[in-house]
Amino acid sequence: MNKHLNPYESNQDEQTSSESTLSTEPATGVENGGNRSGDTTWKTIFSDMLQVIIPALLLALIVHLFLAQATVVYGQSMEPNLVQYQRLVVDKLSYRFHPPQRDDIVVLDLPQMDEMLVKRVVGLPGETVSINDGVLYIDGVAHPEAFPHDTVAYDMAPIVLPPLYYFVLGDNRGNSNDSRSFGPVHRDSIVGRVWLRYWPLDQATIF
């Protein structure tokens, strides 16, 4: 993954109104007896463009910062469920209303990493997570993982997750840099939840 890791009178004589109105007459750029002024025309066009472009850029910035962002999958750590060069939409809004849930695919922005990572949440705050012969255990009970994933013979001693910390794994367990190596991740490091795979079109999926 890289740090990319993509949404509106009637007329009465001698009477004035305090209401703002919009003119439906097109700007003509004509002045002083009907002579067209190229300078005025370009000023009008430039002003109109600014009125459209600036709000559009602000809206795009707000969406990117607070609501959603598009990103691209790089690497193999989430195979077979996510593969390289697939394009995703990351939902940044949901976790403002509820915490991450188990099995959510999330994008991480870790201070020690140059690029953002995509992983799956498997352990929640307060739980004890362990791995025995490749099987994930939550509070001592084997956790059934309904999604396809690579199981490798790997053991990990039990670890208790502190408040606001989550245990994340790649679905490709044999080729993933995840909480087994860098430890549990804090809630603040979770950028958002992978909501949509939109490319390739024939693989479009809502998660």
| Catalytic residue flag (residue 43) | no
Nearest 5°: the CA angle 120, 123, 94 is 60
Beta bridge partners of 150: 172
d(CA 162, CA 10): 68
Catalytic residue among 23, 92, 119, 176: 119
Active site residue 119: yes
Q: Which of 23, 37, 47, 77 is catalytic?
A: 77
Point out the residues that are catalytic.
Answer: 77, 119
